């Protein structure tokens, strides 16, 4: 597992890439001064922060390709809005399944890396189609406590999973378009291409190391076709841009392993300021709500919090700062590079559940 210094090193590397790119993108451009109500497509603030998906439409016949890398760190545990220690968890939280009366394995750290490759195509000025595939890498550290009770630490272990995640398809449909204000509907579908049968070796309270099916958080997909409706508004005036987006993930049916992940609802709002056509900075707030898991996988029954379907979901509020760069001339013209860094400012979780520490997204976009 990556320790704290390595996690910050990754974030620092992302910042270094952004600074280097800023120097390359800063070729002077006088074609667009950014003072109109309607920004030129080459202006840095004409797109939302890189962490916002499906934020804009394209003109008829345009194609855009994109790549995003998202890194997330989680460390420590929380019940509701209160942080709890591993010792408190194993002495007070009941084990839902047969075996010890309380939990005996506690996750302590988790990282997730997500690679997202996307394409957008506009058959008309009012409809843009979007397709996105992803590859996930997950890693989780645990502490195992000895025997059926007590606070004696037996040892630690790490589980890993990686592979293709669920595939996203969507149509963005314009509802209102006037200078300075745009509104469109997001009509999306998540296709269950990610595995829900990942397994790895674990350390049990009795000291054995069997290979078991990993808990829900370490699986790569939902196993169900999920509806993803949304509504996106964007506005512009002089060098300022702003916007808001509501998006939901609505699960349909039960997957082949006997459970349904909780529905998700997210509301996000942002504002950005363009210093020059090639660079803008942004701030963003996001409020999220996620439900618990319904049903359960009969092969996920270890005495660990992540095996209990009730220990999922909750409420989160997150804050982000971002940087958008837009190439203005030469070989960089039309290329966009963006960075966004965020952290939670409020978490009230159905716990015990792991706390989120840091989220970093870096991305590239190019329209043709």
Give the domain ranges of the chain. 4-367
For residue 300, pLDDT beyond 50: yes
* DSSP-assigned beta bridge partners for residue 38: none
Whole-number pLDDT of residue 25: 56
For residue 162, pLDDT beyond 90: yes
Cα-flanking dihedrals φ and ψ of residue 78, to 5°? Answer: -145, 140
Averaged over 181-185, what is the pLDDT? 98
List Cβ neighbours of 14 (8 Å cut-off, separation of 6 or more).
71, 339, 341, 360, 362
List Cβ neighbours of 331 (8 Å cut-off, separation of 6 or more).
none
Over residues 23-81, the pLDDT tens digits come to 445 544 433 344 445 666 678 888 999 999 999 999 999 999 999 999 999 999 999 99
For residue 258, pLDDT beyond 80: yes
Read off the pLDDT band of 19 (50, 70, 90): very low
Whole-number pLDDT of residue 37: 53
Pick the CATH number of 4-367 from 3.40.190.10, 2.70.98.10, 3.40.50.300, 2.40.128.130: 2.40.128.130
Averaged over 86-95, what is the pLDDT? 98
- Going from the C-alpha of 302 to that of each of 18, 45, 130, 219, 343, the distances in angstroms are 43, 48, 39, 15, 30
Whole-number pLDDT of residue 13: 52
pTM score of the predicted model = 0.88
Q: If you average pLDDT over every residue of the chain, what do you get?
A: 92
Averaged over 326-349, what is the pLDDT? 93
């Amino acid at each position: 597992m990556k320790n704290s210094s390595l996690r910050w090193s990754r974030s620092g590397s992302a910042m270094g890439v952004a600074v280097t790119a800023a120097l390359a993108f800063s070729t002077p451009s006088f074609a667009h001064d950014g003072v109109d109500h309607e920004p030129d497509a080459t202006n840095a603030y004409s797109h939302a922060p890189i962490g916002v998906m499906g934020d804009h439409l394209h003109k008829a016949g345009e194609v855009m390709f994109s790549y995003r890398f998202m890194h997330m760190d989680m460390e420590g545990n929380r019940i509701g809005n209160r942080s709890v220690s591993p010792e408190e968890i194993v002495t007070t939280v009941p084990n839902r399944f047969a075996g010890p009366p309380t939990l005996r394995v506690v996750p302590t750290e988790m990282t997730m890396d997500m690679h997202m490759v996307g394409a957008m195509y506009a058959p008309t000025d009012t409809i843009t189609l979007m397709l996105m595939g992803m590859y996930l890498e997950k890693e989780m550290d645990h502490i195992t406590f000895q025997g059926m009770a007590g606070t004696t630490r037996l040892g630690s272990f790490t589980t890993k999973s990686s592979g293709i995640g669920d595939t996203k398809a969507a149509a963005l449909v314009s509802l209102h378009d006037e200078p300075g204000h745009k509104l469109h509907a997001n009509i999306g579908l998540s296709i269950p291409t990610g595995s829900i049968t990942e397994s790895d070796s674990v350390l049990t309270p009795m000291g054995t190391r069997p290979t078991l099916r990993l808990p829900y958080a370490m699986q790569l997909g939902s196993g169900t076709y999920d509806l993803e409706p949304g509504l996106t508004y964007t506005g512009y005036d002089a060098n300022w841009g702003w916007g808001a987006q509501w998006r939901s993930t609505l699960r349909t049916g039960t997957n082949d392993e006997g459970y349904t992940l909780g529905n998700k609802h997210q509301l996000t709002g942002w504002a950005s300021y363009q210093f020059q056509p090639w660079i803008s900075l942004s701030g963003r707030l996001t409020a999220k709500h996620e439900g618990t898991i319904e049903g359960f996988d009969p092969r996920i029954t270890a005495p660990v919090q992540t095996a209990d379907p009730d220990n999922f979901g909750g409420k989160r509020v997150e804050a982000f700062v971002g940087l958008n760069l837009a190439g203005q001339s030469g070989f960089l013209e039309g290329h966009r590079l963006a960075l966004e860094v965020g952290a939670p400012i409020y978490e009230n979780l159905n716990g015990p559940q792991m706390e989120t520490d840091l989220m970093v997204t870096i991305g590239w976009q190019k329209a043709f």
